[in-house]
Amino acid sequence: MAAVRKSTAEQSRSVLIVESSRAYAAMLAAYCRQMRLAPVVCDGIGPSLGRIPTLPHIAGITVGAALDDGDGIDLIYRLRALPHLASTPILFITADDDAALARAALIAGATEVCRKTTHRCVENALSTIGAVSNAPRRNGRLLVIENDPALGRLIASVCGQLGIGVDPVKSVDQGLALFHQRRYLAVVSDVILAGRETGIDLVRRIRRIPDDRARVPILVTASHDDTARRLELLRCGADDYLAKPLLAEELFWRLHNLLRRAEIGTPLAPAKIASANDDAPLAASAHNALSERETEIAQAITQGLSDKAIALKFGISFWTVRSHINRIFSKLGLFNRVGLVKFMIQQHPPEAVRGGAMPLRTKQPGK
């Protein structure tokens, strides 16, 4: 009977707990069960690496700083070398308040660092890992415009996790024909499509519809190095973009957050849609409220740097970067990075955004 329970648990979303302290591992396991996650406990590097091939789906990993057979940071490096764990959340847990150790863990690939005594930090990190299991399912459909069958299947699979059906088409004309017939929760489109028109044309045409359908959330997929098209998509009114190759987990959260913002009424309002289409600048007074460091971080986000990369670039902690970003969003009245990128490209020419020539100082000393 115990073997049956073990098999069932490991078929669910597992969290690999690598921790030398049995008492602390038991506490982490209890947290995981509260989040409807299946804890799998190992006490060292060797046992954890041996166990990984037996787990079909690892939702997250916790790694203690000091393990029975080595160093937790070394394990993180080895975990990140496994292709199927490249994007898996890894929580590094340490008993010490050591900034250098935390920095080393982030460089190795840890997603977050928590102290053992800061239980709220650990609970929040595990709740984020479990959020896919607990995410609300929605009723409705998405319009998916994609001419790559493999990507279409990936998008349909992710939408299935959200409880959403999809209507797949391959061209702008086919997509708009369906869009005028049905109500959709959101639209997902590639930039390069069958026919002459692109995803950019699709965004423009939807945003010009003279009724509330113009407010539908739109996510567009584009190549990572296609800067010009990505910036143009934001100018035209796309709510979000996702760089290829697509990661299922990232697509899940992009869609989840997009739909959640739509439900609480934060997508572009009609006046803002017109402003985005007309490329009208936003008020500069809000931008002048940013400090020099906040402006540097806003520029780095516009250039596509992650929070971890920004921390390394400026020699500050990951948490300091997060704090700056939250203040930037609060000062500018924004909800996400896409809104910040739109703001920055309206304040500065695209050449400055791409080339790093954007002015950094927005406040005079002493003011």
User: Model confidence over 177-231: pLDDT tens digits?
Assistant: 999 999 999 999 999 898 889 999 999 999 999 988 899 999 998 876 667 887 8
Give the model's pLDDT for residue 155.
92
Structure-token match 């020539």, residue found: 357
Same domain, 217 and 257: yes
Q: Are 2 and 38 in contact (CB under 8 A)?
A: no
Give the model's pLDDT for residue 337.
76
> Sign of the C-alpha dihedral, residues 206, 299, 334, 119?
positive
Domain final residue pick, 133, 148, 176? 133
Please tell me whether residue 40 adopts helix, strand or coil conformation.
strand
* DSSP per-residue codes, 231-294: HHHHHHT-SEEEEESPPHHHHHHHHHHHHHHHHTT-S--HHHHHHHHHTPPPPHHHHTTS-HHH
The token pair at 288 is: 């002048």
Number of domains in the chain: 3
Same domain, 142 and 76: no
Domain final residue pick, 278, 297, 319? 278
Residue 295 forms part of a structural domain: yes
Give the model's pLDDT for residue 131.
66
User: Model confidence over 51-90: pLDDT tens digits?
Assistant: 999 998 898 999 999 998 999 999 999 998 888 887 788 9
Residue 366 forms part of a structural domain: no
Q: Cα angle vertex 125, ends 123, 131, to 5°?
A: 95
Task: Tell me which residue range forms the domain holding 298.
Answer: 284-355
Question: From CA 25, how far away is CA 335, in angstroms rounded?
Answer: 36
- Count other Cβ atoms within 10 Å, centred on residue 85: 17
Please tell me whether residue 165 adopts helix, strand or coil conformation.
strand
Question: From CA 152, how far away is CA 170, in angstroms rounded?
Answer: 10
**CATH number reported for the structural domain that contains residue 31 in this entry:** 3.40.50.2300
Same domain, 223 and 303: no
Residue 164 forms part of a structural domain: yes
Same domain, 217 and 298: no
Residue 364 forms part of a structural domain: no
Question: From CA 214, how far away is CA 199, in angstroms rounded?
Answer: 15
Please tell me whether residue 361 adopts helix, strand or coil conformation.
coil
Give the model's pLDDT for residue 224.
64
Give the model's pLDDT for residue 92.
94
Q: Phi and psi dihedrals of 88, rounded to 5?
A: -75, 135
Domain final residue pick, 133, 151, 185? 133
What strands lie across the sheet with 165-169, from one edge to the other?
A: 165-169, 141-145, 186-190, 218-223, 240-244
The token pair at 92 is: 């590094």
Q: 42 pairs with which residues across the strands? A: 18
Q: 237 pairs with which residues across the strands? A: none
Stretches where the chain sits below pLDDT 50 are 1-11, 266-288, 351-367
Closest listed residue to residue 94, CA positions, set 111, 78, 70, 118: 118
Same domain, 260 and 141: yes
Cβ neighbours of residue 110 closer than 8 Å, sequence gap 6 or more: 63, 76, 90, 91, 92
Same domain, 220 and 291: no
Q: Phi and psi dihedrals of 321, rounded to 5?
A: -60, -50
Same domain, 164 and 258: yes
First to last CA, the chain: 70
Same domain, 265 and 158: yes
Cβ neighbours of residue 43 closer than 8 Å, sequence gap 6 or more: 18, 19, 20, 22, 25, 67, 68
**CATH number reported for the structural domain that contains residue 323 in this entry:** 1.10.10.10
Please tell me whether residue 52 adopts helix, strand or coil conformation.
helix
> Sign of the C-alpha dihedral, residues 266, 268, 271, 276?
positive
Give the model's pLDDT for residue 61.
95
